[in-house]
Amino acid sequence: MTSLLYLPLGSLLLASLFIYFDHKLKQLLCSVTRKAKVNNNQSLATGAINLQKLRCCHY
């Protein structure tokens, strides 16, 4: 009987945690691409070039 309560609540908690971490990861990736765009005169790391291709920052 308690599983009818704890299982949905646990699923909601995990889903909200994953959404939060996904948002933070997206912010981190966008900040890296912004820094890479500012430093385009310098040599960019391969990872930063690949992040620019994602175009995750639309704002």
pLDDT in single tens digits along all 59 residues of the chain: 778 899 999 999 999 999 999 999 999 998 888 776 666 545 544 555 555 556 555 54
Token reading at 44: 């960019």
Coil/strand/helix, residue 24: helix
Global model pTM greater than 0.75 = no
| Cβ count near 51 (within 10 Å) | 22
